[in-house]
Amino acid sequence: MSAKLILGKVVSEDIYEELRQRIEVLKAAGTVPGLAVILVGDDPASQVYVRMKEKKCEELGMKSMPVNMPKSTTQDELLTKVDELNRNDAVHGYLVQLPLPKHIDEDAVINAIDPSKDVDCFHPYNVGRMLIGEPKFLPATPAGVQQMLIRSGIETAGKHVVVVGRSNIVGKPMAAMMMQKGKGADCTVTVANSKTVDLPSITKQADILIVAVGKAHFITADMVKPGATVIDVGTNRISDSTARNGTRLVGDVDPSVAEVASAMTPVPKGVGPMTICMLMANTVKAAEYATEAVR
């Protein structure tokens, strides 16, 4: 068996085409969806990610509003900027790029974001709505995973999903979304982590295995049920003397799993492109909510 590859670029292009049509409707009503991103400091990885968001906004005809602040920014200064974006009607959605410098309380900043503009879906209000099955927004990476399953024709109803990882960004919301009623869900869900006793006995039960543990090649072929769908959310940089810069990106899933699984996402080119895609989708949705409220 050789697994069918589920490619984020392919799935995201379908969604972008749908978003372009919705953006044109909004523009006809006098609204240009606007996304702001606050970047505090000069972390290289964060800078790259922010530039990718800006580029995608431009490609879709949305308004990109980057906000760059020095690493020395105080918490009060950042909260003042958050308040400004909350009151700016041209900003339909925004996010504060994480991680923040250690002297800033991330929770305090997230809690200050207007939930109606919280396109990262980190605010407790939006997390709560997601948990009870009445989401305003869905967190970008888990939403991207769910769309990959739906648009790849992978049945989820009644299936056993095992999520390996328990972060607030991926693991917890992913589990909550997959247990809901509806398309791309209706699953029996088990949540495990790197400290789970006899983890292989759990992962081998999965019809759909979603891995977001942050450990390179952590899941091996002997931990996967034959024919399972495996979604690798991990992104780890490891040394590679054959690579031009001496490193390369790998996932949490070992490549040998491709000989056992029926379908899987590669790293890179798998889940990665879906995160920005779903962030754009949330921004368009926020603009639609705002336009409807004005009417």
Beta bridge partners of 95: 37
Beta bridge partners, 159, equal none
The letter for the amino acid at 13 is E
Structure tokens at 230: 């495996």
Residue 175, C-beta contacts closer than 8 angstroms, at least 6 positions apart: 161, 163, 189, 191
- Gap between the terminal Cα atoms of the chain: 55
How many whole angstroms separate alpha carbon 180 and alpha carbon 142?
13
Q: State which amino acid sits at residue 77.
A: E
> 97 an active-site residue?
yes
Rounded Cα–Cα distance for residues 203 and 206 (Å): 5
SS3 content of the chain, % helix, strand, coil (to 5): 40, 15, 40
With b for 16 or more beta-carbon neighbours within 10 A and e for fewer, the 229-255 pattern comes to: bbbbbbbbeeeeeeeeeeeebbbbbbe
Half-sphere exposure of 18 (CA within 13 A, CB side): 12
Which of 56, 81, 97, 146 is flagged as catalytic? 97
Nearest to 164 by CA among 134, 192, 203: 192
Q: How far apart are CA 179 and CA 160, in angstroms?
A: 10
Which of the residues 81, 117, 118, 120 is marked catalytic?
120
**Nearest residue to 130 via CA among 180, 170, 81:** 180
Which DSSP symbol is given to 2?
-
DSSP code for 263: E
Known active-site residue 21: no
Give catalytic residues, as residue numbers: 53, 97, 120
